[in-house]
């Protein structure tokens, strides 16, 4: 549900915003949205670190007492992080005008809207602590449900704000209200209802204990920034280094669908990663190998199938989506969407690493990823624009995540790692190629470029792909295929 709402926020609302606000104001809003998302990624790894700690408490006889004490201590750390982040943002807003830095001097209310979104979303960081506890206790669906309601209501409020006022500040207030409201409900109402043993009063902690928590969380903080923050930071870099407002919108919109594909992969991986983390904790090696091999294969197959469809019809969809107001860049789309599909196995490996407390491995690989991105971006964005940002992101992913993180975990986890890798990437290539071929067949069967033509083409594509994969619907064939996956 939350993935669909994220799709609504980034894709369904874009034509509406574009029609009422124009591409200049749309570019401004997408830049502000990226800045707010970057602030939400500023959690210094405490989310993933506390998740691992809460999981470790489940094997203890006094799990509730340990959880209560630890929660109260870390809550104070989260409050401190929020206070520090708000102070830093406030000082930067006083010293620098975002409209001048990001090139939106002619956009009324940009500075105030920027401040509302960044400062407002900074106050929502403590909900990550609640989210980690819900996830560790198998109740993560509850957080997702409440978050979906908050996001959905915020989107309705954004539409009303655009329709009635066309004011950037009103859109920002509507967006932040949904996020802050969701966080407040989780922290002050829902959390106590599901975990009555908790105390919402922060517990004083020692400096030694505080240092230990931040030291343990640091690798996960680097991972969080590399995985989420860099994607949104690239929007701000393109905004600052590229003068063409249409090119900025082009970059943000294309990155949106690639990010959507990445989020889908991450969401598919989460429940499997939780089981893998449990098997790793209890030392169930054989079960771990089998589940890792099957989970990796299924997630990669699913993302490859979606990628084939996206690459087949992205141009037609993009032109209808933007009503031709923003130029389409085929190379940019292939680099971003194809690159996201290519690193799917690494995204799955990252999820497993997060649940198995591989902090050192995450630290080194993610640090390398960040260094590669900034090293390439400094040269490529000024010369190639959005394409340079895409090449920088994809290259950093491929070298650090796929070349190191995925490879090491595959060798450490599976007995037949090389055979599995050959099968995995061969399957990925075959599925994407089949999807592209079926896309050409669909366009040949239903020529045309209108909305109805696109819907019919997609219908033909889905019918054809369903026919191709229909043998997997037979349990006998499916089970034989699963058993044959090397592990």
Per-residue model confidence as pLDDT tens digits over 58-76: 666 677 788 888 888 888 8
Mean pLDDT of 413-442: 89
- Classify residue 79 as exposed, middle or buried by CB count within 10 Å of its CB (0-12, 13-18, 19+): middle
The pLDDT value recorded for residue 7 is 55
Q: What tokens appear for 291 in the block?
A: 């589940």
What is residue 329's DSSP assignment?
A: -
Q: What tokens appear for 482 in the block?
A: 């699963």
Q: What tokens appear for 377 in the block?
A: 């971006």
Q: What is the CA radius of gyration of the chain?
A: 23
pLDDT score of 1 more than 60? no
Q: Which residue has the tokens 């309705």?
A: 156
Q: Which residue has the tokens 């996206």?
A: 310
Q: Alpha-carbon torsion 97, 102, 105, 106, what sign?
A: negative
The pLDDT value recorded for residue 4 is 55
pLDDT score of 204 more than 90? no
Q: Identify the band that residue 22 occupies on the pLDDT scale cut at 50, 70 and 90.
A: low
Mean pLDDT of 84-90: 90
Mean pLDDT of 385-407: 86
What is residue 96's DSSP assignment?
A: -
The pLDDT value recorded for residue 13 is 64
Instruction: Among 161-170, 180-189, 345-354, name the one with the lowest average pLDDT.
Output: 161-170
Residues in the chain: 487
Express as a percent the part of the chain with pLDDT over 90: 4
Q: What angle do CA 381, 382, 383 make, to 5 degrees?
A: 90
The pLDDT value recorded for residue 11 is 61
What is residue 204's DSSP assignment?
A: P
Q: Identify the band that residue 429 occupies on the pLDDT scale cut at 50, 70 and 90.
A: very high
The closest alpha carbon to 25, from 35, 17, 33, 37, belongs to 17
**Average pLDDT over the chain, rounded to an integer:** 81
Q: Identify the band that residue 356 occupies on the pLDDT scale cut at 50, 70 and 90.
A: confident
CA–CA gap between residue 463 and residue 288 (Å, rounded): 36
Mean pLDDT of 16-30: 71
Mean pLDDT of 74-88: 89
Q: What tokens appear for 260 in the block?
A: 């959507």
The pLDDT value recorded for residue 8 is 53
Per the model's pLDDT, the better-predicted residue between 346 and 151 turns out to be 346
Q: What tokens appear for 242 in the block?
A: 């590229």
11 Cβ neighbours under 8 A, 6+ residues apart: 256, 257, 260, 321
Q: Identify the band that residue 140 occupies on the pLDDT scale cut at 50, 70 and 90.
A: low
CA–CA gap between residue 418 and residue 432 (Å, rounded): 21
Q: Identify the band that residue 50 occupies on the pLDDT scale cut at 50, 70 and 90.
A: confident
Mean pLDDT of 138-167: 75
Q: What angle do CA 85, 89, 90 make, to 5 degrees?
A: 115
CA–CA gap between residue 228 and residue 39 (Å, rounded): 10
Mean pLDDT of 144-152: 73
Q: How far apart are the first and last CA of the chain?
A: 32
CA–CA gap between residue 262 and residue 163 (Å, rounded): 31
Mean pLDDT of 202-211: 83
Per the model's pLDDT, the better-predicted residue between 276 and 440 turns out to be 440
CA 111 distance to own-chain centroid: 26
CA–CA gap between residue 79 and residue 124 (Å, rounded): 10
The closest alpha carbon to 125, from 162, 83, 88, belongs to 83
Alpha-carbon distances, residue 315 vs 30, 172, 373 (angstroms): 21, 30, 27
Mean pLDDT of 451-462: 86
Say if CB 377 and CB 370 are below 8 A apart.
no
Q: Identify the band that residue 87 occupies on the pLDDT scale cut at 50, 70 and 90.
A: very high
Q: Identify the band that residue 3 occupies on the pLDDT scale cut at 50, 70 and 90.
A: low
Mean pLDDT of 343-369: 82
Q: What is the pLDDT of residues 209-249, one digit of tens each?
A: 888 888 888 887 777 777 766 777 776 677 667 666 667 77
């Amino acid at each position: 549900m939350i993935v669909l709402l994220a799709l609504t926020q980034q894709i369904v609302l874009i034509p509406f915003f574009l029609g009422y606000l124009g591409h200049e104001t749309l570019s401004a809003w997408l830049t502000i949205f990226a800045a707010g998302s970057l602030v939400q990624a500023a959690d210094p790894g405490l989310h993933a670190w506390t998740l691992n700690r809460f999981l470790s408490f489940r094997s203890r006889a006094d799990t509730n007492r340990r959880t209560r004490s630890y929660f109260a201590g870390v809550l104070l750390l989260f409050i401190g992080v929020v206070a520090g982040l708000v102070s830093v943002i406030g000082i930067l807003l006083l010293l620098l005008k975002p409209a001048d830095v990001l090139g939106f001097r002619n956009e009324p209310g940009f500075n105030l809207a920027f401040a509302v979104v960044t400062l407002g979303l900074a106050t929502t960081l403590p909900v990550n602590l609640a989210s980690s506890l819900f996830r560790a206790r198998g109740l993560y669906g509850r957080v997702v449900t409440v978050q979906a309601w908050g996001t959905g209501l915020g989107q309705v409020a954004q539409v009303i704000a655009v329709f009635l006022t066309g004011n950037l500040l009103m859109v920002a207030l509507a967006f932040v209200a949904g996020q802050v409201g969701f966080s407040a409900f989780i922290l002050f109402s829902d959390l106590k209802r599901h975990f009555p043993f908790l105390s919402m009063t922060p517990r004083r902690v020692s400096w030694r204990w505080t240092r230990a928590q931040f030291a343990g969380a640091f690798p996960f903080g680097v991972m969080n920034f590399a995985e989420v923050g860099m994607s949104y930071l690239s929007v701000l870099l393109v905004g600052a280094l590229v003068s063409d407002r249409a090119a900025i919108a082009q970059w943000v919109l294309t990155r949106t669908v690639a990010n959507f594909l990445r989020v889908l992969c991450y969401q598919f991986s989460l429940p499997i990663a939780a089981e893998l983390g449990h098997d790793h904790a209890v030392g169930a090696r054989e079960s771990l190998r089998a589940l890792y091999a099957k989970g990796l294969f299924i997630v990669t197959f699913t993302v490859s199938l979606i990628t084939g469809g996206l690459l087949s019809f992205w141009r037609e969809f993009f032109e209808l989506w933007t009503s031709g107001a923003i130029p389409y860049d085929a190379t940019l789309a292939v680099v971003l969407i194809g690159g996201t599909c290519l690193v799917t196995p690494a995204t799955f490996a990252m999820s497993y690493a997060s649940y198995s407390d591989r902090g050192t491995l995450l630290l080194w690989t993610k640090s390398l990823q960040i260094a590669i991105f900034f090293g390439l971006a400094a040269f490529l964005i000024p010369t190639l624009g959005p394409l340079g940002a895409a090449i920088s992101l994809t290259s950093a992913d491929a070298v650090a995540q796929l070349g190191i993180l995925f490879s090491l975990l595959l060798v450490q986890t599976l007995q037949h790692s090389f055979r599995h890798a050959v099968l995995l990437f061969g399957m990925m290539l075959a599925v994407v190629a089949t999807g592209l071929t079926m896309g050409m067949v669909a366009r040949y069967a239903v020529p045309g470029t209108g909305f109805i033509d696109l819907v019919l083409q997609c219908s033909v594509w889905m019918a054809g792909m369903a026919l191709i994969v229909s043998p997997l619907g037979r349990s006998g064939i499916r089970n034989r295929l699963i058993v044959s996956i090397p592990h």
